Amino acid sequence: MSLLETPWTRRHLVPKAAPSQPGERGETILEALVANARRTPDIPAMRHRPDGRTWEDITWSQYLTAVREVAGGLAEIGVEPGSRVAILSENSPAWHIADLGTQANGCVTVPIYPTSSPAQIEYVFHHAKVVACFVDGHAQMGRIIELREKLPELRLVVLADGVRRIGDAGIVELEELRAMGADRLSRHPDSVDRRMAEVSPEGLATVVYTSGTTGPPKGAMISHHNIMWTLRQVAAAYGLGPGERLLSFLPLSHIAERMTSEFMPIVVAGETWFARSLASVADDLPECRPTIFLSVPRVWEKLRDGIMRHLAGQPVLVRTAAERYMALGLRVVDAQQRHVEPTPLAAAAYRALDRSLGGVVRQKVGLDRARLLVTAAAPAHPDLIRWFCAIGLPLLQIYGQTEGCGPSTANPVDDLRIGTVGRALPGMQVRIADDGEILVKGDNVCMGYLDDPVSTAELIDEQGWMHTGDTGVIDEAGNLHIEGRKKDLIITAAGKNIAPQGIETDLANSPLVSEAVVVGEGERYLAALLALDMEELTRWAEEHNKLPDPDALSEDPDLLAELQSAVDEVNARRSRAESIRKFRVLPHTLSGAAGELTPTMKVRRAVVSKRYASLIADIYAD
């Protein structure tokens, strides 16, 4: 039996009938929205739970009406085309409406992570010259009010959820803004349409700030054409069309989530459902049953661990069948990766278990209708991808960056190469520079950095190649293998250049480890700082009859022995120069609030190294 005939490939490779292409719906996201409202006015565009319990629909006609009213309201207040308008909010329909309403007024959206510190908010507002800001509640509004005196250009704050206090100057509720817009449209019916018509595909749509792992964030300028062209390539590559369903829960201020759960459903006439929070995703998935699901490796790891815990609690016959199913699935995946056929007996047994047990697992987790499963924003361990493939959920790793409007390379569903980030998407080019840096070229490449010509010249060369800052290699089949960040290379005392990213990904594959930071610049050997996963640590303590005290457990001999086993397993697959000789357990998990992680949960290596300099010095003291 060819693997291309296994249950999961049959389910995922069936093309949808006549997928609608972005070109058919206009050249800007606004034109696509208008097209949907005209063609399918009463079809749901978004679903959310405003009361936290009951799902409510927002149709395409309601969506467009809200967008036009927000645009009219901004115009009525005097926000001119070209102005920068920030959004500081959790995911919600109001986020989408604010974004599209801003663009419909000819303005430029500046998304800000809701977890940003006051200093980060102030920096972006100053750098982008933000004149108006949408916030989702009183907590975020309070943060803006505290900064108000430092933000002289900010003239308007729009409160999406809540009631403004009497006397709050420059603050309006979203419903008030929409009412102003509706009134303006009653007096000047074509005023918004005229501004929308003036939005050019080549014009600036949004400024998205990088996470700033090595310095101040830079504002990537993304055009309307960048957005639509990129979506066109992805939609064509995966046969996406009307009826796609997505669950929105990662921050919309991240380009991957915004492109996937906000813009893509508009382009293909799909449907966005909003999770109540990141913590509720496991509960929201079975209700949404998305056809497209994007997440980061850490969430995929939690989903895997949850499935395994559920199966471990089943009767012995079910547990035995599950173990057999997993083992057979991994054998089938291994055969596919080696381009060989699994034995007929193994193939038949796998098909039978996949139809029964596998189908139940996929339905319970809420991914039984999923056609496209994606992990992005950080490296995913190959074992994690193998595991999901084994249970009939082919997990594709995509590579890209903010400056490339999201994806540049991706694995196809029918030729998933585990351990790679796939090949360049249609219309995009990828090559490796002489120094090993990954270069990208295509209409997905942004317009440069806002008010930063020096950094723009470093980003995009004279031939139009974008310098990603990542290093990698392209194999004979054209698949890209990521090695790490150029700036993160560690040069040991022996002169060895070592990319730490892959080692850190392997270390973090241990359930007990949430983050790993490899150190060793100028030293004789590599070491690692390990931050523990508190949830797994608590579970481990219960299983070993120990008190769940993180401080005490960080020095517990049994725990250290288990961590050493995980380190030994990683070392067994690497050269001596790449091996971790020593490790230390950090006293707490790394966090964005402490400045150790970026808003996209990437480690700020310089911050961690400085904060734990004495711990690192202790490692190399002898």
Sign of torsion over alpha carbons 307, 312, 318, 320: positive
Paired tokens of 265: 């459903």
Residue 100: Cβ within 10 Å count: 25
**In the chain, what is the greatest distance between 2 CA atoms, to the nearest angstrom?**
79
Instruction: Determine the Cα–Cα distance for residues 196 and 221; give it in Å rounded to an integer.
Output: 19
CB-based burial label for 147 (10 Å; 0-12, 13-18, 19+): middle
Q: What is d(CA 106, CA 100) in angstroms, rounded to the nearest whole number?
A: 10
Query: Tens digits of per-residue pLDDT, 211-242?
Result: 766 668 899 999 999 999 999 999 999 999 99
- Residue 182's SS3 state is helix
Give me the residue spans of the domains in the chain.
22-286, 295-485, 489-619
CA distances (Å), origin 403, targets 110, 227, 407, 456, 605: 14, 11, 10, 10, 21
In this prediction, residues 371-388 reach a mean pLDDT of 95
pLDDT at residue 62, as a whole number? 98
| Residue 618: both structure tokens together | 């202790």
Tokens of 168: 């709050």
Cα–Cα distance, 311 to 319 (Å, whole number) = 6
Confidence of residue 19 (pLDDT cuts 50, 70, 90): very low
Q: Does domain 295-485 have CATH number 3.40.605.10?
A: no
How far apart are alpha carbons 399 and 417 in whole angstroms? 13
| Residue 327 tokens, joined | 């083992």
Residue-wise pLDDT tens digits, 528-553: 999 999 999 999 999 999 988 888 88
- Token digits for 285? 């998935």
- CA separation for the pair 540, 546 (Å, rounded): 8
The architecture (CATH level 2) of 22-286 comes to 3-Layer(aba) Sandwich (3.40)
pLDDT (0 to 100) of residue 601: 77
- Angle, alpha carbons 178-184-186 (nearest 5°): 105
Give the pLDDT of residue 250.
95
State the Cα angle at 287 between 282 and 288, rounded to 5°: 90
Q: Which residue has the higher pLDDT, 246 or 9?
A: 246
- Look up the pTM and report it: 0.91
Asked if 211 and 592 count as a contact pair (C-beta separation under 8 A), the reply is no
Mean pLDDT over each residue of the chain, to the nearest integer: 92
CA torsion sign, 198 to 201 to 204 to 210? positive
Q: What is the pLDDT of residue 6?
A: 44
Q: Would you state the pLDDT for residue 17?
A: 38
CA distance 190 to 468: 43
Q: What is the pLDDT of residues 495-517, one digit of tens each?
A: 999 999 999 999 999 999 999 99
Start-end of H helices in 313-422: 316-337, 344-353, 359-365, 382-390
CATH topology match: 295-485 vs 489-619? no
The pLDDT of residue 166: 61
Give, for 491, the enclosing helix (H) or strand (E): strand 490-491
Q: What is the tens place of the pLDDT at every residue in 143-186?
A: 999 999 999 999 999 999 877 766 677 999 999 999 999 999 99
- Cα–Cα dist 255/274, whole Å: 17
Q: Please report, rounded to a whole number, the percentage of residues in the chain having pLDDT higher than 70.
A: 95
| pLDDT greater than 50 at residue 2 | no
Pairwise CA distance, residues 85 & 82, whole Å: 9
For residue 535, the one-letter residue type is E
Residues paired with 424 in a beta bridge: 409
pLDDT at residue 65, rounded to an integer = 98
pLDDT tens-digit map of 579-611: 999 999 998 889 888 888 887 778 888 899 999
Superfamily for domain range 489-619 = ANL, C-terminal domain (3.30.300.30)
- Residues shown for the chain: 622
pLDDT at 266 over 60: yes
Q: Do strands 429-432 and 437-441 pair parallel, antiparallel, or not at all (unpaired)?
A: antiparallel
> What's the average model confidence in pLDDT over 391-417?
95
Spatial CB neighbours of 342, under 8 Å, sequence gap ≥ 6: 1, 3, 331, 332, 335, 350
DSSP SS3 for 591: coil
**Distance (Å, rounded) from C-alpha 478 to C-alpha 424?**
8
Are the CB atoms for 10 and 354 separated by under 8 Å? no
Nearest to 408 by CA among 260, 234, 292, 266: 234
For 471-498, write each residue's pLDDT tens digit.
999 999 999 999 999 999 999 999 999 9
**How far, CA to CA in Å, does 321 sit from each of 1, 328, 339?**
22, 10, 27
